[in-house]
Amino acid sequence: MGINLKELSKQEDLFASGHRACAGCGPAVAVRQALLASGKDTVVSFATGCMEVVSTIFPYTAWEVPYIHSLFENSAATMSGVEAAYRALKKKGKVKKDINLIAFGGDGGTYDIGLQALSGAMERGHNMLYICYDNQAYMNTGIQRSGATPHGASTTTSPSGKVIPGKTQWRKDLTEIMAAHNIPYAAQACISEWRDYMTKVQKALSIEGPKFIVVFAPCQLGWYYKKEDTMKIADMAVKSRFWPLYEVENGVHKITKDPKKVIPVEEWLKLQGRFRHLFKGNNKKVIEEIQEEVDARWEKLKKLEEAGI
Amino acid sequence: MKVAAKTANEAMAEAMRQINPDVVAAYPITPSTEIVQIFSQFVADGLVDTEFVPVESEHSAASACTGAAAAGARVMTATASQGLALMNEVLFVTAGLRLPMVICEIARTLSAPINIHCDHSDTMDQRDTGWMQFYAEDSQEAYDLVIQAMKISEEAFLPAMVSADAFILSHSLQRIDMLEDKEVQSFIGKHKTPFNLLDTDNPITVGPLDLQDYYFEHKRSEAEAMREAGKVIKKVFKDFGGKFKRKYDLIEEYKMKDAKKAIVIMGSTAGTAKEVVDNLRADGEKVGMVKICVFRPWPTEEINKALKNVDYLAVMDRAEGMSGFGAPLFTEIRSSLYDGEKKPDTYGYVYGLGGRDVKTGDIKEVFDDLKKVENGKKLARNSYLGVRE
Amino acid sequence: MAKKKEGWKELPIGAIIIEPGSSKKFKTGDWREGKKPSVDKGKCTNCMICWISCPDSAIKVKDGKMIGFDLDYCKGCGICAAQCPVKAIEMIDEEEE
């Protein structure tokens, strides 16, 4: 395998230019990188959301692989059907190729409204990969909070105000939820660590059964940072351990990148307008809470890795 | 041809077995559960080649079936009531994508309150989805219509649901004539699909976003398909009738030739109504019944032709529709008749909700009402048959 | 002049799009707000980091070498300039050569 950028760059980009994503869009990078790793013999299902909308405005499509979108909450269910059809037709000799099946969804269509379909698909053992691009809110409809929105973030439905400092709840740990489905492979990745991410995509696709990857993909519009900083913001999320890069293969946790220079999460929060209110008045304690949670989660992950479970 | 004793559930499951679809994604719900159970046993016994996907909800059942159909597979599923309602948003997608599919549907009412028995509120609720809708009078029709619907769906490139009344048909044993496996296979022929998602050499984008400049044209195209579907249905019905000697049509005219008073009805109660019509005819009454077999596409020409000489008409709705004025079938019949030269004096009856039993006496009451109107009495435009006041 | 849009009879069945990558007909290059990327090929090491980081596939590459920018689609986000490890890319004024 081995991800070699020079070699990859000779491949055709399967997510074409001309899509209407914002300048500096993290999820667009996530989709591009996934398809470069997966190759031409890939069929994709997509949940309603930013990437779906910007890439398929009739009659324009950015997709150079077969693509299906039906609804918001059913990317995993739609792909379950595609996968069943693929198996049925392959058995009958009507389909001869080996095809990678990838279901995509944003955090909206995956953590929340799409969780049921995803859970069902993983439990049934379909041979498919689900990739969730996590930009931590319902971005396409205007930056509303999701189950992936971090504690303290200001969104349009969890705005920071005089009385409440942004989202009061903590995010769901979807990677662990997926690992608890006892699937052969679940992983967390990030667009700034493209080698780690694309390796994970290729690894997942080489494994038989249901696989899951959630890829951190910053949104410059919804997180309020300078658009050229998308990769930097992604990188700092990893370096602060807010977003550990790890995989759970056959139930065993393994950290795939241990940041050498760890930064305080506050440095990451500082660059994003969605956390700006935490730097005022009494809200500073929220930053401490966030740091505590990040540390505790990292410690737990390290313990799981050390224990070989 | 083989004679068998089958409930509508069993008959539909048998039809599914003989069709041998590529994929079935299904979720159980009373009283359609049996269809899924029987079919699962077929899969476990290797009697079908189907990939069976035991999904975690009906929404996922419809979604998985849609994905599978887009990927070029022949697909079927089974559901009822709340399950059909949960599929609702997906059904619009399936039809919008012009994908062939058949749902074996058991007509059970919708909550609240929850009730597992028969009425047509669940299927009526789906009448705007763009799906073709067929109503069976008995197990034989349930069996025959499922087979024909598969072929019709793949010719018209529109999905179809075939409904059999909950418990009354789904769980009652009836004598049916079954076709041989190879006759069914030969009749439905090779699977046809409008496009193929799995063709990676010719990648297509299915389910795009339309802005204001294209949505209308796409929907106009879909509407045309529904308009033309009646022709496709008649052709397949004719083909079936020619081969297997059982004739189907968009509507069935029962003793309508010189009928002056008639009822319009759908589903199992048509059987009860036929007996009432027979008895009244024996007494010299010029009465008849029109049974609607195909509700979508709406058979407006056939209805106008069948009812043009009727003076007094009662439209029997096994769903309320909750419009405040007239239940669904009543409203659609009157809308069709509005263009007719002669308009029958038309009355609406809501009957049998939540499995309320409908006896011959009840149907006779309706004909008696029409007779009273004939003799100058006033009758409420819309009323309820068999509800305790 | 804009192409006349199709009538309902001319559209593919089921609203599918049959031409892959047709988004390339939509030039997002005019989204730039006054700045465009420029590369100093003398400094460039062809590491391809700019290419893999671009959301719009607007970095032109050939035979494993970075050869420029596709200004038809580049939205001017500046990620390439920010990510280049040798600072070979900078965002310059649109009018500059």
Domain containing C32 — which CATH number?
A: 3.30.70.20
Where along chain B do the CATH 3.40.50.920 domains lie?
251-385
B251-385: CATH topology is Rossmann fold (3.40.50)
Beta-carbon separation of C11 and B217 below 8 A:
yes
In chain A, the domains with their CATH numbers are 12-306 (3.40.50.970)
Any domain includes C17: no
Give pLDDT, residue A223: 98
Q: What does the alpha-carbon distance between residue A246 and residue A179 come to, in Å, rounded to a whole number?
A: 12
pLDDT higher than threshold 60 for residue C1: no
Exposure string of B297-330, with b = 16+ CB inside 10 Å and e = fewer, is: bbbbebbbebbeebbbbbbbbbbbbeeeebbbbb
- B340 CB within 8 Å of a chain A CB: no
Where in the sequence is the domain holding C66, given as residue range(s)?
27-93
Scan residues 7-66 of C and list those with Cβ closer than 8 Å to B: 7-9, 11, 13-18, 20
User: Across residues C60-88, what is the average pLDDT?
Assistant: 97
The predicted-structure confidence for A185-200, as pLDDT tens digits, reads as follows 999 999 999 999 999 9
Residues of B within 8 A of A57 (CB-CB) are 208-209, 211
Where along chain B do the CATH 3.40.50.970 domains lie?
2-244
Please name the residue of chain C whose CA is at the shortest distance from the CA of residue A9. Answer: C64
Give B285's Cβ-side CA count (13 Å radius): 19
Give pLDDT, residue B341: 83
The alpha carbon of residue B232 is apart from the nearest alpha carbon of chain C, in Å, by: 17
CATH code of domain B2-244: 3.40.50.970
Please name the residue of chain A whose CA is at the shortest distance from the CA of residue C45. Answer: A6
Any domain includes C59: yes
pLDDT higher than threshold 60 for residue A1: no
Give B238's Cβ-side CA count (13 Å radius): 6
Any domain includes C10: no
Strands B2-6 and B174-178: antiparallel
Encoded tokens for B187: 């009749």
- Neighbouring chains to B with at least 3 Cβ pairs closer than 8 Å: A, C
Please name the residue of chain A whose CA is at the shortest distance from the CA of residue C65. Answer: A6
Mutate to test the interface with B, among A46, A63, A64, A86 (most CBs of B within 10 A): A86
What's the ipTM?
A: 0.96
Give pLDDT, residue B348: 98
Q: What does the alpha-carbon distance between residue B385 and residue B365 come to, in Å, rounded to a whole number?
A: 9
Residues of B within 8 A of A80 (CB-CB) are 25, 53, 55, 60, 63-64, 67
Beta-carbon separation of A56 and B67 below 8 A:
no
- B190 CB within 8 Å of a chain A CB: no
Give pLDDT, residue C33: 95
Strands C35-39 and C89-93: antiparallel
Mutate to test the interface with B, among C3, C4, C5, C16 (most CBs of B within 10 A): C16
* pTM exceeds 0.90, yes or no: yes
Instruction: Name the residue facing C70 among A5, A17, A21 (closest C-beta).
Output: A17
Structural domain count of chain C? 1
Low-confidence stretches of chain B (pLDDT < 70) are none
Mutate to test the interface with C, among A15, A17, A67 (most CBs of C within 10 A): A17
Residues of A within 8 A of C24 (CB-CB) are 16-18
C-alpha distances in Å from residue A56, one per residue of A21, A38, A46, A52, B213: 11, 20, 11, 6, 14
Beta-carbon separation of C55 and A29 below 8 A:
yes
Beta-carbon separation of C16 and B206 below 8 A:
yes
Residues of B within 8 A of C15 (CB-CB) are 96-97, 207-208, 210, 214, 218
Give pLDDT, residue B342: 86
- A125 CB within 8 Å of a chain B CB: no
Single-letter code of the amino acid located at B354: G
Encoded tokens for C73: 């689609």
Any domain includes C49: yes
Any domain includes C75: yes
Distance of CA B93 to the CA centre of its chain: 19
Task: Return contacts of A257-260, CB within 8 angstroms, 24+ apart.
Answer: A257/A193, A257/A196
Any domain includes C21: no
The predicted-structure confidence for C5-29, as pLDDT tens digits, reads as follows 999 999 999 999 999 999 999 999 9
Please name the residue of chain A whose CA is at the shortest distance from the CA of residue B212. Answer: A58
Confidence of residue C2 (pLDDT cuts 50, 70, 90): low
Please name the residue of chain A whose CA is at the shortest distance from the CA of residue B196. Answer: A66
User: Across residues A85-100, what is the average pLDDT?
Assistant: 97
- B49 CB within 8 Å of a chain A CB: yes
Please name the residue of chain C whose CA is at the shortest distance from the CA of residue B194. Answer: C13
Q: What does the alpha-carbon distance between residue B135 and residue A61 come to, in Å, rounded to a whole number?
A: 40
Q: Angle at CA B92, nearest 5°, toward B88 and B95?
A: 130
Residues of A within 8 A of B68 (CB-CB) are 81-82, 84-85, 88
Instruction: Name the residue facing B194 among C6, C8, C13 (closest C-beta).
Output: C13
Q: Taking a C-beta distance cutoff of 8 angstroms, is the pair A17, A74 a contact?
A: no
Instruction: Name the residue facing B204 among C8, C9, C16 (closest C-beta).
Output: C16
Pick from B130, B125, B108: nearest CA to B117:
B108
Beta-carbon separation of C13 and B157 below 8 A:
yes
Distance of CA B367 to the CA centre of its chain: 25
DSSP string, B262-295: EEEE-STHHHHHHHHHHHHHHTT--EEEEEESEE
The predicted-structure confidence for A123-179, as pLDDT tens digits, reads as follows 999 999 999 999 999 999 999 999 999 999 999 999 999 999 999 999 999 999 999
